[in-house]
Amino acid sequence: MNVIFSEITFQLITLLSAYMFIFMNVPLYYCLIAVPIVFVALYIVIYGSVLIKSAELIHSKKHLKCWVAEAIEPIFSSNSTEQSYKIVAEETVSENVDIFYNMKRRMVGTVAVMRHSKRQNWAWLFRLSVDKRYRRKGIALKLTKTVQEWCKINRFNNLELCITDCQEGARQLFAKAGFEVAQMYHQRLLTSAFTLQMCQLRYEVRATFD
């Protein structure tokens, strides 16, 4: 949406329409097809660039520790939105193995932590993801709290992460977990004409060492 309403998008639409009208003799009212053409082309290019960047980060970032969240449900359960859930530790499941024996287990969330690339004794939270069907149930917050607790035990000074300005839900989640804005900056998607505002968040861990 940020790209669609940017100035460069309207310039591209105008240039494409003018080219079709002047050099291809396309009737003026048919030149309106330049609008969806530009939108589709921008979507494909930006989606592709983000996908390539994501793949690069997946292979370049090496985690120190990672966690997964599993949903334990009746075997014939189909609609997760109609069920109530309780978040428990793996130890609880192990101690009550007889209760959960005939249940199905589904991975619904992940999170990982790595060493900060620029600061010593700092950690970086990444790969936080929750299945769309299981969101708004406290899973992401529990995973984030798990990373924070691990950082306290392993005596990291601070924990940082980065989100885009478009991820309002994520910002609310991390604010609830105690993260504060460290800095804002713009990330280039293709060229300087297409940028995405990024928000770097920080959680201070060392205050827990009292």
| Per-residue model confidence as pLDDT tens digits over 29-69 | 888 888 888 888 888 888 887 788 778 777 777 889 999 99
Boundary residue ending a domain (28, 60, 92) = 60
| Per-residue model confidence as pLDDT tens digits over 64-109 | 999 999 998 887 766 555 677 888 888 887 777 777 777 888 999 9
CATH number of 168's domain: 3.40.630.30
- Kindly state whether residues 175 and 151 are assigned to the same domain: yes
- Mean pLDDT is lowest, of 55-59, 138-142, 174-178, for 55-59
- Percent of the chain exceeding pLDDT 90 equals 39
Q: What pLDDT was estimated at residue 210?
A: 43
| Parent domain of 33 | 1-60
- Kindly state whether residues 132 and 43 are assigned to the same domain: no
12-21 contact pairs (CB < 8 A, 24+) = 12/38, 12/42, 13/38
Q: Residues 6 or more apart from 81 whose CB is under 8 A from it?
A: 133
- Is 80 exceeded by the pLDDT of residue 150? yes
